[in-house]
Amino acid sequence: MDQKQGILYGVGVGPGDPELLTVKAVRVIREADVVAAPNTGTSRAALDIVQDYIAGKPILDCPSPMHRDRAAAKAAYARTAEDICALLERGKTVAMLTLGDPTVYSTYMYVHRLVEEKGYEARVIPGVPSFCAAAAALGTPLCEGKERLLIIPAGYEGLEESLDVEANKVLMKAGRSITELQDLLRRRGELDRASLAANCGMEGETLYPHFADMDDPTGYFSIVIVRDKD
Amino acid sequence: MDQKQGILYGVGVGPGDPELLTVKAVRVIREADVVAAPNTGTSRAALDIVQDYIAGKPILDCPSPMHRDRAAAKAAYARTAEDICALLERGKTVAMLTLGDPTVYSTYMYVHRLVEEKGYEARVIPGVPSFCAAAAALGTPLCEGKERLLIIPAGYEGLEESLDVEANKVLMKAGRSITELQDLLRRRGELDRASLAANCGMEGETLYPHFADMDDPTGYFSIVIVRDKD
């Protein structure tokens, strides 16, 4: 039997609110034969978001270790890519979920490349990035007119140098280091221009239009926005 | 009569494809009493995108001049804010449309602030920014791992200095200057790391995974992605 190969869709499910999936993301998930869901070992956050859209659909569990052992992580993604290719070979359509947008700090693109290299078709369905949802919840623009915007990944290597760049800044996933970040911005005289959204669109959402007002460390999914000097 | 005031929603309608509105954006537009639509004089692009969702709904036309006379533009936004406040005062819910995401280079936030200053409630519904849709269409990540991402607005003042920042870059709305940009990136040895999406998700979408291959100037809504040195 000459069976048509399936297609892999990398689907951005947005920042947390199930209503912030796009119409296209919902359709692609509903039409998929299998939903592939990253699993950090303790949570499947993307899967939780789409529960209302996947009743009864088979789930492919995709181990997605968050620790810093890059070789182990790459091996896990390679196994996921193999599992997905086996489904595509059997003509199945696979929707792999990813938080926010698939092109912004997502491991999905790693799997995407592996699947393409094996000769299968893979398509990206964009989503609302977490920083857009944070700015929306705070009611603050990320960038206007001639302002540039710098997105700084979690970990913050060389953070002072990043903060020196003339631009508005988004600091992704401020977590354990949130009070240190507050201290640093205070020392630099930038704390008054900073705001914070914790667990945006999820349970325990907390908004600080003035980051200076935050007096308890917040969750993993905090986003800090620092406006540039006027 | 003691009437409850209405609420203004700034609704991101995404980059062009009507399927790339969020479920929430569609609901808010459908539930609104009035849809406010920016009008540049020659186009109402955001309104075109949502045609399927607004059958029969009253439209508030919002002149949104694109020329560089900032005083004239501000006066136009102030009139829009006044028109919207008059509706809110009568208890109407207003959904003001904006391309992409409302917090990313949108004039919506200007109207949002004016409406809040007049004592009315305004909420932002995030959307898929054009650069996420461009990266998705090109199948390229915007940022991975420890990479930073710099968003550079149209106009490109101080462009060389922006390109010197150690980060992946998004150049918004490359238009008339697209061949000059190609020349500049070639001179800097960065053209091989650049890709371009023109009219993404709209009629006339054209993708150049290799910006070097582009041999005719493209439309206003072009987005260029330049990956940083490895």
Minimum CA–CA partner of A109 in chain B: B141
B209 touches chain A (CB under 8 A): no
pTM: 0.95
Q: Which amino acid, residue A175? A: G
Contact present, A13 and A37 (Cβ < 8 Å)? no
Length of chain A as a residue count: 230
Contacts of B147 in chain A (CB under 8 A): 153
Tell which of A19, A103, A112 to mutate to test the B interface (max B CBs under 10 Å): A103
A102 touches chain B (CB under 8 A): yes
pLDDT, residue A42, reads 84
**Of B53, B51, B193, B206, which is closest to residue B137 (Cα–Cα)?**
B206
pLDDT, residue B216, reads 73
Cβ distance A147 to B153 less than 8 Å, yes or no, reads yes
Q: What is the ipTM of this complex?
A: 0.95
Q: Which amino acid, residue A110? A: Y
Per-residue pLDDT of chain B (230 residues; tens, 9 = 90+): 557 899 999 999 999 999 999 999 999 999 999 999 999 888 899 999 999 999 889 999 999 887 668 888 899 999 999 999 999 999 999 999 999 999 999 999 999 999 999 999 999 999 999 999 999 999 999 999 999 999 999 777 789 999 999 999 999 987 667 888 999 999 999 999 999 998 887 788 899 999 999 887 655 578 999 999 76
Cβ distance A148 to B144 less than 8 Å, yes or no, reads no
pLDDT, residue A220, reads 59
Give the three-state DSSP class for B3.
Answer: coil
Give me the total of CB pairs closer than 8 Å, taking one residue from chain A and one from chain B: 167
Of A19, A109, A125, the CB nearest to B22: A19
Mean pLDDT by 10 residues, chain A (230 residues): 85 96 98 96 92 94 82 92 98 97 96 98 98 97 95 85 96 81 94 93 87 76 88
Minimum CA–CA partner of B152 in chain A: A148
**Of B116, B147, B45, B77, which is closest to residue A144 (Cα–Cα)?**
B77
Q: What is d(CA A95, CA A31) in angstroms, rounded to the nearest whole number?
A: 9
Kindly tell me the sign of the dihedral angle through the C-alpha atoms of A114, A44, A96, A135: negative
B201 touches chain A (CB under 8 A): no
pLDDT, residue A218, reads 57
Angle between helix A108-117 and A70-89 (nearest 10):
50
pLDDT, residue A67, reads 66
Cβ distance B23 to A27 less than 8 Å, yes or no, reads no
What tokens were used for A68? 């810093």
**What distance in Å separates residue A70's CA from the closest CA in chain B?**
11
Cβ distance B139 to A126 less than 8 Å, yes or no, reads no
Rg over alpha carbons for chain A, rounded to the nearest Å, is 19
Contacts of A140 in chain B (CB under 8 A): 103, 109
B58 touches chain A (CB under 8 A): no
pLDDT, residue B229, reads 79
Q: What is d(CA A70, CA B30) in angstroms, rounded to the nearest whole number?
A: 46
pLDDT, residue A115, reads 98
B68 touches chain A (CB under 8 A): no
Helix locations, chain A, DSSP H: 23-31, 45-49, 70-89, 108-117, 130-138, 159-164, 178-187
Contact present, B135 and B156 (Cβ < 8 Å)? no
Of B101, B135, B153, the CB nearest to A146: B153
| Torsion, CA B67, CA B168, CA B16, CA B105, rounded to 10 | -40
Cβ distance B22 to A24 less than 8 Å, yes or no, reads no
Cβ distance B128 to A22 less than 8 Å, yes or no, reads yes
Cβ distance A102 to B136 less than 8 Å, yes or no, reads yes
Edge-to-edge strand list for the sheet holding B59-63: B59-63, B34-39, B94-98, B7-12, B121-125
The neighbour count for residue B192, using CB atoms within 10 Å, is 11
Contacts of B141 in chain A (CB under 8 A): 103-104, 106, 109
Contact present, A199 and A221 (Cβ < 8 Å)? yes
Cβ distance A116 to B139 less than 8 Å, yes or no, reads yes
